[in-house]
Amino acid sequence: MEMDRKTKIGIIGCGQISDAYFKALTAFDNVEITACADLNMEAATAKSETYRIKAVTVDELLADPEITIVVNLTVPEAHAEVAVKTLRAGKHAYAEKPLAVSASDARRVLELAAGKKLRVGCAPDTFLGGGQQTSRKLIDDGWIGRPVAGTAFFMGYGPERYYHQTPAFFYKTGGGPMFDLGVYSITALVSLLGPAKGVSAIVSKGFEYRIAGPQSLKPYEKLPVEVPTHYSGSIEFHTGAVITLVASFDVWAHQHKPIEIYGTHGSIEVPNPNTFGGPVRLAVGDQPDVEWSDCPVTHQYTGNMRGLGVADMAKAIATGRQHRASGKLAFHVLEIMEAFEKSSRTGQYVELQSSCDRPAPLPVGLRFGELD
């Protein structure tokens, strides 16, 4: 009988984002979701029926000897606690973003994992998508020369109006536009440019409370705002590139591109880092009237592939290589995010303590479902 080589995965947290993982992970033949759990048993049962896996309690899932990786899709405030339980149960831990609501909580998780020789992985994994990887290759191959500056904008009017059923957590510790949106931009920037050196920023709050939208389970509920909702600042990277970043829940409409990077020989428009696809555009040349042109997306994984980082981690564990959406990368991103608030509070440039390796690029030419 052929040995089953699939890494068994358990999901804790069966809320709104979980469907994306249940669906995307079916693309990879090295992983299989076998069980799901949630504090709310009804939520777990609903997903177990849709995806034909077992629904169990959190403790039963953590005690299941078959499961190697636990994917933590709970709310941000529970991320560290669930990660600690997972690692204590002897399993690798992969979390939705953020890794934890503070760098000190995240450090505890990483230290526990290191002591137990277990892996920690963390979303976002959108930087592994075809659009971001195409941008990465163009920069690495020198099309824009040495990156010197850039902009990243991730702004909107908050999730409560548009789509979320339980939006209160977006306005509590671990929420806000930086932990919810800016995290995509910063992770993409670290993949594109390498680790950062320091941050100078101002943060503010446009509204003292928000009103949940009609799709909320408690429509028109008043949500107190406990976190900043507008972050504006600059990140200095070790390469010398300086990127201006704005992440906001206070903006009704704007016309900025998600990410642009300006190099010594040209500029690149990088696609929305909250998606996996394009468009990628280049303007190369040192003339003032240089034209922008569309670049073909050269890499695999352009649809909603949330979970790609989990499959990559499973493959990395099996082959002994580093995984890309790593705890170390997420920790550095978390420190950058916290530095915006710290810089604003102190009125000073914040030098970062942490660093990380640039995650390895994905190769061109993979088949759909294939990993290197």
> Which residues in this chain contact ligand NAD in the complex, by CB under 6 A?
12-17, 38-40, 43, 58, 73-76, 78, 82, 96-97, 166, 180
Contact by Cβ (8 Å): 288, 268: no
CA distances from 197 to 115, 277, 298 (A): 28, 29, 30
Radius of gyration of the chain (CA): 20
Q: What is the C-alpha separation between 325 and 354, in angstroms, rounded?
A: 16
Minimum Å gap between C-beta 314 and ligand NAD is 20
Sign of CA dihedral 10, 14, 15, 20: positive
- Residue 195 or residue 327: which is nearer to ligand NAD going by CB? 327
Contact by Cβ (8 Å): 210, 223: yes
**Token digits for 220?**
């028109």
- Residue 76 or residue 150: which is nearer to ligand NAD going by CB? 76
- Residue 182 or residue 266: which is nearer to ligand NAD going by CB? 182
- Residue 166 or residue 234: which is nearer to ligand NAD going by CB? 166
Minimum Å gap between C-beta 167 and ligand NAD is 9
The residue number with the shortest CB distance to ligand NAD is: 15
Backbone angles phi, psi at 217, to 5 degrees: -70, -25
Largest CA distance in the chain: 66
Minimum Å gap between C-beta 109 and ligand NAD is 14
Residue 84 CB neighbours (<10 A)? 17
Q: At 81, which helix (H) or strand (E)? A: helix 79-88
- Residue 163 or residue 292: which is nearer to ligand NAD going by CB? 163
Minimum Å gap between C-beta 238 and ligand NAD is 28
Minimum Å gap between C-beta 162 and ligand NAD is 10
